[in-house]
């Protein structure tokens, strides 16, 4: 259930709404997305089991911006781990909290 994992990680609430409105469309798209296959990794240029990675890219040509989804193929080693759409922010560490408080106190003085 790889597709649902990814999707639900994005936004559980909207994912549910999506699944209810367009279940088939969504399922097909996500399954395609996570299917590994043999190919050339775009990063290390080696033949390996690659996975498509979609990224939204903005092109500016002749002063006009165009948006498109570009698919890159990466092997497991090179596959970008940080998914921009994942809202899982790591909880602040004690140190970070302290620094934050210190900064706040400084502002009060």
Binding residues (CB under 5 A) for Zn ion: these are: 41, 43-44, 75, 78
Q: How far is CA 11 from CA 4, 7, 32, in A?
A: 11, 7, 20
**Min CB(53)–Zn ion separation in Å:** 11
Q: Which is nearer to Zn ion, 28 or 44 (CB)?
A: 44
Instruction: Give the shortest CB-34-to-Zn ion separation in angstroms.
Output: 17
Give the ranges where the chain is alpha helix by DSSP (H).
2-10, 12-21, 23-33, 94-108
Residue 79: DSSP 8-state: S
Query: 35 or 77, CB closer to Zn ion?
Result: 77
Least CB distance to Zn ion at residue 46 (A) = 6
Q: Return the axis-axis angle of helices 2-10 and 23-33, rounded to nearest 10°.
A: 110
Smallest distance, Zn ion to C-beta of residue 103, A: 40
Nearest-angstrom CA–CA distance, 82 and 89? 11
């Amino acid at each position: 259930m790889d597709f649902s994992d990814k999707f639900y990680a994005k936004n559980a609430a909207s994912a549910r709404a999506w699944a209810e409105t367009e279940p088939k469309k969504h399922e097909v798209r996500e399954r395609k997305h996570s299917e590994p296959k043999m190919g050339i990794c775009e990063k290390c240029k080696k033949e390996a089991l690659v996975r498509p990675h979609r990224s939204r890219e903005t092109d500016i040509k002749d002063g006009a911006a165009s948006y498109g989804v570009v698919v890159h193929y990466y092997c497991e080693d090179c596959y970008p781990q940080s998914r921009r759409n994942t809202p899982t922010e790591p909880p602040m560490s004690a140190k970070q909290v302290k620094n934050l408080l210190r900064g706040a106190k400084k502002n009060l003085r």
